[in-house]
Amino acid sequence: MKQSTRYIVLGAAVTVACASSYGVGLIAQQSLEGGVFESRPGGTQVEVLFDGGSRGVGVDVGVITFPAGNNSGNHEHPQTEIFYMLDGELEHVVNGESEILEPGMLGHVKPPDLVNHITAPNGSSTRAVVIWAPSGGVARIASRWNRLR
């Protein structure tokens, strides 16, 4: 095989490999939207409505469902998190300050706040629209939680 033909074949192979990996990357980025993730069996779930990171937009949006008897434990978020309550009641503890969130109410956390989400043990599950800004909350959850669909 001539040297020039080798370069053409090699160039074509590299182009196909790059295009394939780019396509796989796009599929992986887009695959979070519509996904449902669970922290543990029977635990908190997040349905991804908008994966801003894969769209070049600075926010992620999901619907989070806390089961009855949930206690997330104190934890920090690397970005702002805003809740808009849809159903149920959530004790939203931020830096030791407790507030009960009910449908129609907003709650938020900003870095480096310490947050804990608690639901009544005998109540029903609690649902809220959650917005993370900047984006990255959805990818963080997807990397640590179990994907249900």
DSSP letters spanning 26-73: HHHHHTTTT-EEESSTTS-EEEEEEEHHHHT-S-EEEEEEEPTT-B--
pTM: 0.77
- Hey, what are 143's tokens? 């990397």
Query: Whole-angstrom Cα distance, residue 19 to residue 105?
Result: 46
Query: Whole-angstrom Cα distance, residue 16 to residue 20?
Result: 6
Residues 6+ apart with CB under 8 A from 49: 33, 61, 62, 63, 129
pLDDT 10s digits, 71-99: 999 999 889 999 999 999 999 999 999 99
Share of the chain above pLDDT 90, in %: 73
